[in-house]
Structure 1
C-alpha cells in the first residue's frame, strides 16, 4: 500500500511539473488593445462635466523592466521621456487626423514588478485621460495609438484603440 501511495504522489508531482511550461517573452515589450471605456465625472475644480477615458492594454515583457520608480520618473519628466506614449486622432470630415494637444496625453506608469527581479511579466495597464466638456466639441469621435517603453529603452509595437465619442450629453 505504501508503494502505491508513493507512486501516486510521484506521478502527480511528475504530471504537475511536466505540464508547467516556463513563460518566455521577447525583451521588447509587446502590447494588445483590450478595452476603451468612458466615465462621465464632475470636475472638482470647475464643477463642469468631463469624460474620463480609460484605455486598457495587455502587455508582455521578457525581462520585466516595465515602469519607473519616483526617481526615474522625475528624471524622465525633465526630458518628456514618457514610458506610455499616446497619439490622439480626431474624426474630421469623415476621416481621422492626428490631433496634437497643447499638453501631451502621454505619461508615466509605475514599476510593475515590486520585487525588482528581472524575468517575464504580463498583465494589463489601465491609463486614464480626462477631457473636460467645455474644451471638447460635442460628439467628438476620437481614437488612440499607444506604445510603451521599458527602462532599457525598448519600444513596444503600436496598437490602435477602438473609437469613442466624447461630450455626448
Structure 2
C-alpha cells in the first residue's frame, strides 16, 4: 500500500473584506478548523478517502508550495556522528534502525551534492502542514493505526498549497478537501469502525486545534 500513496487537494477560499489591520474578532492567529465531511470513493485504480475541513486564520499564512523546502520546512534532518559525519547504513551504530523508507534515504542531495550511499535521517514533521491520524475501534475502544510502523513505514501527512502567494497578511476562511489515494483501503479496514483526527499548521508553525471525524465504516461513507 505504501507504494501508492498520493494526495489531491482542493481549496475553497474566502478573503474577508475590510481592513487587514483589524481582522474579525473570531478569526484566530492560530489556525482554527472544523470537520466538514469524509467520503470513500472506489475505482478501477487507487481508491480515495476524501477528508474535508473548514478553516479560519487571521493572517492567511497557510499552505506550502513545492519550493518551500528550506528550514524550517526541509523534508529531513541528516543524522551525524560525533565527528559531524553522515551516518551511512554500512557503518551504522548498534542503535540505528534496520533499513526502512522512513529512517533511511538512498543517494540524497546534501549541501547541493549527491551522496552515493544510504544515509540515516530524521523526518522533519514541519515539512508538512496537514497531519492525519487513523483510529480503529475494537471492543469499544479506539486504538491508533500507526502507518509509520511495519509493514507500511509511511504516513498520510502531507501538504496543501499556499492560500495567499504574497506576503500580505489577510484574514481568510474556506475549506480544504484532502484526498488520500491507495489500493489498500478495503483490504486493510474492511468493516472496521474508523475515526480520523486531523490538524493543520501555518507557516509560523502554529498548530490548529484537532478535529475528529464521526465513527464510520468505509461502506457507510462510500460515494458512487
Give TM class, smaller chain. 0.7 to 0.9
152-161 or 126-135, which deviates more: 126-135
Which structure has the highest helix share of the two? 1
**Residues 1:80 and 2:125 aligned together:** yes
Q: Which residue pairs with 1:141 in the alignment? A: 193
Gaps of 5+ in 2: 1-16, 77-123, 148-152
**Residues 1:112 and 2:163 aligned together:** yes
**Residues 1:129 and 2:131 aligned together:** no
What's the CA shift for 1:61?
0.4
3-state SS in 2 of match to 1:136: helix
Report the count of equivalent residues.
144
Q: Which residue pairs with 1:56 in the alignment? A: 52
What's the CA shift for 1:134?
6.3
**Residues 1:97 and 2:143 aligned together:** yes
Q: Which residue pairs with 1:12 in the alignment? A: none
Aligned alpha-carbon RMSD (Å) = 2.4
143-152 or 70-79, which deviates more: 70-79
CA deviation map 1:39-58 (0-9, x unaligned): 11222xxxxxx541111000
CA distance 1:73–1:34, shift in 2 (3 Å)? farther
Q: Which residue pairs with 1:5 in the alignment? A: none
69-78 or 116-125, which deviates more: 69-78
1:123 and 1:76 map into 2 onto residues whose CA distance is 27
1:91 and 1:97 map into 2 onto residues whose CA distance is 6
What's the CA shift for 1:109?
0.8
2:51 and 2:69 map into 1 onto residues whose CA distance is 21
TM-score, normalising length: structure 1: 0.74
What's the CA shift for 1:105?
1.1
Q: Which residue pairs with 1:152 in the alignment? A: 204
3-state SS in 1 of match to 2:207: coil
CA distance 1:76–1:88, shift in 2 (3 Å)? farther
**Residues 1:69 and 2:114 aligned together:** no
Q: Which residue pairs with 1:11 in the alignment? A: none
3-state SS in 1 of match to 2:159: coil
1:88 and 1:121 map into 2 onto residues whose CA distance is 28
Gaps of 5+ in 1: 1-19, 44-49
